[in-house]
Amino acid sequence: MSSIFSTPDQLARIGLILSRYIRLPVSTDTIPGAFLESVLAHVRGGRVLPTYDYIDVHQASERVGWSIKSTRSVTPVTWKRAKIANKEALIQASFQSATAVQALGDEIMEFCNVHARASLRDYNLNEIGYARLIVFPAGEVLYFERQLCSLAQPNIFDPTDFEWRWPVPKVTSKKEQLRALHGIHKATGKKWWAWHGLGENQLHFSGEGAWWPAKNDPHAVTFRFPTEGEKLSFDGLVDLLEAV
């Protein structure tokens, strides 16, 4: 089994810690990514990186790292701020031809791959995993792990899998909204990417649902948010803290 995957016991510990965290009266209806990072680092014997490198958690002895994402199921996943070199020239050219649009999209995918390859190199990694937590509207929580890339296969995305398009501008009663460049997954015809290069460079990964695991996946664990009656009271939390 690939070392980026937690063992069944480790996966159960991650699920237990997270499910107990959301019983605290100070918790909200989401689980912060920073907390998830700390939990994974604790269970896997790694460390949270205080950097903007691609990986968020590093386990040096096993030569692995993880990128961490934690959102509601309805919240777009921000892959990162994709600040493309020579952006303005590429964008202007992309308005003129389909070939230039594709070249811009290919550059965005290469940006993602370069960022991951840099972490493989800089942290001496064998592979990089994806540790993902999703909160669904009905209160179910899903945590899963998957492999993203490795020394043998260092690229996460193949640029030839995507076709890129500028959508028709949307005009509201107040002003024209800035367009986002869309990346269409050729095999499914679905939009996987939205790059907000005319604004603050966020790259949203709307196709991430294709990565969500099937039921009974061995690398996933689920639990539910507690009801108000199941949450620890504030007095109960204070009693617990004072007893330490």
Confidence check: pLDDT of 56 > 80: yes
What are 191's strand-pairing partners?
Answer: 184
CB atoms within 10 A of CB 202: 16
* Separation CA 208–CA 148 (nearest Å): 12
**Encoded tokens for 38:** 């700390």
Q: Cβ contacts of residue 162 below 8 Å, gap of 6+?
A: 105, 109, 183, 184, 185, 186, 192, 193
* Separation CA 130–CA 6 (nearest Å): 12
Confidence check: pLDDT of 1 > 60: no
Domains parsed from the chain with CATH numbers: 8-243 (3.40.600)
* Separation CA 115–CA 55 (nearest Å): 9
Which DSSP symbol is given to 12? H
* Mean predicted confidence (pLDDT) in 25-54: 94
Average pLDDT, the chain: 93
Handedness of CA 22, 24, 30, 34 (dihedral sign): negative
Confidence check: pLDDT of 230 > 80: yes
Which pLDDT band holds residue 243 (cuts at 50, 70, 90)?
confident
Phi, psi of 46 (to 5 degrees): -110, -160
Identify the pLDDT of residue 180. 95
Cβ atoms of 77 and 71 within 8 Å: the answer is yes
Highest mean pLDDT among 41-45, 49-53, 71-75, 177-181: 41-45
Confidence check: pLDDT of 244 > 70: no
Confidence check: pLDDT of 175 > 80: no
Identify the pLDDT of residue 172. 61
Which pLDDT band holds residue 173 (cuts at 50, 70, 90)?
low
Which pLDDT band holds residue 171 (cuts at 50, 70, 90)?
low
Residue 129's nearest CA partner among 111, 150, 115 is 150
Per-residue model confidence as pLDDT tens digits over 73-107? 999 899 999 999 899 999 999 999 999 999 999 99
* Separation CA 153–CA 6 (nearest Å): 21
* Mean predicted confidence (pLDDT) in 102-130: 97
Cβ atoms of 143 and 14 within 8 Å: the answer is yes
* Separation CA 161–CA 131 (nearest Å): 23
Identify the pLDDT of residue 224. 93
Cα of first residue to Cα of last residue in the chain, in angstroms, is 39
Identify the pLDDT of residue 239. 81
* Separation CA 94–CA 85 (nearest Å): 14
Which pLDDT band holds residue 242 (cuts at 50, 70, 90)?
confident
Identify the pLDDT of residue 2. 60
